[in-house]
Amino acid sequence: MRNTLTSNNRPADSPQAVSTSLYSTLLRGLFLLSLSAMACADPNMPPERTLMLAAASTIDALEAAVKDFESKTGIGIDVSFGPTSTIARQIERGAPADLLLSANGAWADYVDDRLVVDRRVTLVSNQLIVIKPVTNQLENEAVPSLREFFSDPQLRFSIADPNSVPAGIYARQALEASGLWESIEPQLVPTVDVRAALALVSRDEVDGGFVYATDVARNSNVTYVGPIDPMLHDVIEYPLLLLDETEEEAAELFKFLISDRGRKHFLDRGFTDPYR
């Protein structure tokens, strides 16, 4: 090794040479390791768990239902919540979801038009309401009428994005039908989903918000102001879609959710029967 040089012209036993050769050995080792890791990809990987994407407003009810299902059947389920608009687009773009619980018919149609949907059932319905923060001030004496509430230009209201999220769309339809949309629009704070709208009211960052009746359970920071007349917007419906009925576990979950036992988790939390 004496008097030989490494590739960067240093004597072969100098400290720099040693660290260079150490470096190149490590590099070579890393390369081989990653090659072998790729070669070892197991063709018999365990089957993926059933994945369900669901509207944000169903989080409490659906988590309870899924827990019940898992303890009853021992089948593990992954559920991901978000605004219906986002999850529908994700599914369209190839998200490997087996079931979709949408908060309106339009987004269910959107998925239905673009992908194969094996089964579709309207699971439950809901009611839209207006809430406001519970504050220390004695504002809670007279709950104002909704029109009065909306007509104060100083007030701000949170709403799930009225262009894409079902809760916001229903609210917008009602406001448009009442002729209030133009005047209230500058006062609106659009949020990612209905639960974010709830959170803003809960933190008293806005003066009021449009949420579902089912969203306010166990939230002591908000108080009910009034209902949104269901005649003023599309019928609120939560379609449950099964995207592939050959996936046995997914099909079982679907059957469970539409059964009385599965629906009970929703009805107990204030969701209503869609066919009343």
Which residues lie near other proteins (CB under 8 A)? Answer: 83, 85-86, 88-89, 106-107, 110, 156, 161, 163-165, 188-192, 203-206
Q: Select 134 or 258, whichever has its Cβ closest to other proteins.
A: 134
Min CB(132)–other proteins separation in Å: 14
Q: Select 136 or 246, whichever has its Cβ closest to other proteins.
A: 136
Q: Select 66 or 87, whichever has its Cβ closest to other proteins.
A: 87
Min CB(189)–other proteins separation in Å: 5
In sequence order, what E strands does the chain have?
Answer: 50-55, 77-82, 99-101, 119-124, 128-133, 157-160, 188-191, 208-212, 222-227, 238-242
Whole-Å CA distances, 104 to 88, 124, 245: 11, 11, 22
Sign of CA dihedral 214, 215, 219, 224: negative
DSSP assignment letter at 193: S
- What lies within 8 Å, CB to CB, of 202 at 6+ separation is 133, 219, 221, 222
Min CB(243)–other proteins separation in Å: 18
Q: Select 6 or 173, whichever has its Cβ closest to other proteins.
A: 173
Q: Select 210 or 256, whichever has its Cβ closest to other proteins.
A: 210
In three-state secondary structure terms, 32 is helix
Min CB(110)–other proteins separation in Å: 5
Q: Is 74 left (phi over 0), alpha (psi -120 to 50) or beta?
A: left
Min CB(95)–other proteins separation in Å: 14
